[in-house]
Amino acid sequence: MKDENVVLSDNSNKNIPGFAPPAHFPKPVYDFSGNTIDQKKFRLGRMLFYDPILSLDSCISCGTCHQQSVAFTHLNHTVSHGINGLPGSRNSPTLANLAWSPQLMWDGGIPNLEIQPLAPIENHVEMGDKLPNVLRKLNRHPLYSTRFKEAFQKDSIDSQQMLKALAQFMVMLVSGNSKYDHYLQGKATLSNDELEGLKIVKEKCASCHAGELFTDFAYHNIGLDSNILDISDLGRETVTKRKQDRRKFKTPSLRNMAVTKPYMHDGRTNDLKTCIKNHGEFDSPNLDSQLKKYIGTGIAISDEECMKVNAFINTLTDPTLLTDTLFSLRTTDFLPYSTKPAKHCDYVH
Chain segment 315-348, per-residue pLDDT in tens = 999 999 999 999 999 988 887 544 444 344 333 3
Q: Report yes or no on 2 lying in a domain.
A: no
**DSSP secondary structure code for residue 204 in this structure:** H
28 and 101 inside one domain: yes
Please answer whether residues 165 and 48 qualify as being in contact, where contact means their C-beta atoms are separated by less than 8 angstroms: yes
Is residue 297 a part of any domain in this protein? yes
Residue 97 lies inside a defined structural domain of this protein = yes
Does the residue 94 lie in any domain?
yes
At 345 the pLDDT is 39
308, 326: one domain? no
- What pLDDT shows up at residue 284? 86
Residue 108 lies in a domain: yes
Same domain, 197 and 109: no
Question: What percent of the chain clears pLDDT 70, i.e. is strictly above it?
Answer: 89
The count of structural domains within the chain is: 2
Q: Tally Cβ neighbours within 10 Å of residue 139.
A: 14
Radius of gyration of the chain (CA): 21
**SS3 of the chain: helix, strand, coil, percent, to 5:** 40, 5, 55
Q: pLDDT tens digit string along 135-171?
A: 999 999 999 999 999 999 999 999 999 999 999 999 9
Query: Is residue 298's pLDDT more than 70?
Result: yes
What is the overall mean pLDDT for the chain?
89
Overall average pLDDT of the 39-59 stretch = 95
pLDDT tens digits, 183-230? 999 999 999 999 999 999 999 999 999 999 999 999 999 998 654 444
Confidence band, pLDDT 50/70/90 cuts, at residue 292:
very high
* Averaged pLDDT for residues 81-102: 95
Q: Cα separation of 77 and 266, whole Å?
A: 10
What pLDDT shows up at residue 18?
77
Say yes or no: 256 and 309 in one domain.
Answer: yes
Four-CA torsion 76, 77, 82, 87, nearest 10 degrees: -150
Same structural domain for residues 32 and 78? yes
Whether 259 shows a pLDDT value over 60: the answer reads yes
CATH number of the domain that residue 313 is part of: 1.10.760.10
pLDDT digits (tens, 9 = 90+) for 70-82: 999 999 999 999 9
Domain range for 208 is 179-317
Judge if 198 and 307 occupy the same domain: yes
Is residue 113 located within the same domain as residue 192? no
Residues 42 and 171 in one domain: yes
pLDDT at 305 over 90: yes
Q: Does 1 reside within a domain?
A: no
- pLDDT confidence of residue 272: 93
> Residue 311: inside a domain, yes or no?
yes
Same domain, 46 and 186: no
Residues 294 and 332 in one domain: no
Please tell me whether residues 33 and 116 are part of one structural domain.
Answer: yes
* Average of per-residue pLDDT across 174-189: 97
Task: Report strand pairing: 249-250 vs 219-220.
Answer: antiparallel
Per-residue pLDDT, averaged over 165-181, amounts to 97
The verdict on 158 and 211 lying in the same domain is: no
